[in-house]
Amino acid sequence: MNDVIAIDGPAASGKSSVARALAARLGWNFVNSGAVYRAFTWAVLQNGTDPADESAVEAVAGELEVTGGLEDGESWVAARGARLGPELDAPETNRAVSLVARVPVIRERAVEQLRGHAMSGPLVMEGRDIGTVVFPDAPWKFYIDASEEVRQSRRAAQGLVDQVAERDRVDSSRKTAPLAVADGAVVIDSSNLDINGVVAAILDHMRAGGFVAAGEAGA
Ligand code: C5P
């Protein structure tokens, strides 16, 4: 397996922007694991299945055609053969995603797809259970947090309707792979830091732990 930096944290903590910037800096692949759960959610909604009905979601999970891959250093997701874009952040997806993501068989399929990305090269992956479940042996684990107020206003600034607190409640209390700080993860509060500030904090921790980025050797 290639090198993995696992970044977890609550909704709108800034982890996606941080993970993308960090991956670009290192020349590694960037994988947004939430997009996979969002793709499953979109497929559930298209199917006419009630996302709140756990057994109904479980019953259709095997039929949902959700695929993904890497292109130009970033992950993509598709459902029913078509790549998904803005539908992933639609208000109805935001409302339903935590309900769909609590279903174990959906998580099994997502985790399998996510682990596959590590075969292609070193990567930065962000989500809720990357350091705890997807890559528990990752050498670098971070948990990015921010106050609920800051997170809510970040979403509003993006023009997105998102029930951040409600998603966190469902994500943290579900039975399978709840949002949690992984053993050995470094917690970074991003409330008063911009993206570059968090990336710098991550790289400082890694360098202190002996990490030398390609191109930085001997520097
Ligand atoms: O990261 P993002 O906000 O796009 O994630 C959307 C939802 O997908 C989360 O609220 C959570 O329910 C689910 N998710 C998850 N495990 C992950 C990533 C996302 O359960 N690793």
| DSSP β-bridge partners for residue 67 | 78
Query: Tens of pLDDT along 91-140?
Result: 999 999 999 999 999 999 999 999 999 999 999 999 999 999 999 999 99
Closest alpha carbon to 40 in 91, 95, 77: 77
> What pLDDT digit, counting tens, does each position of 130-184 carry?
999 999 999 999 999 999 999 999 888 888 888 888 999 999 999 999 999 999 9
Of 150, 37, 149, 155, give the one whose Cα is nearest residue 103. Answer: 37
Instruction: Give the integer Cα–Cα distance in Å for 118 and 79.
Output: 21
Contact 174, 191 (CB under 8 A): no
Per residue in 64-90, pLDDT tens? 999 999 999 999 999 989 999 999 999
Give yes or no for a contact between 138 and 4, defined as CB atoms under 8 angstroms apart. yes
- Tell me which residue has its CA closest to atom 19 in ligand 1: 34
DSSP helix/strand/coil, 75 = strand
pLDDT reading at 217 higher than 70: no
For ligand 1, atom 3, the nearest C-alpha belongs to 11
Alpha-carbon span 101 to 35, nearest angstrom: 11
Q: Which residues line ligand 1 (CB under 6 A)?
A: 11, 33-34, 37-38, 97-98, 101, 127-130, 167, 171
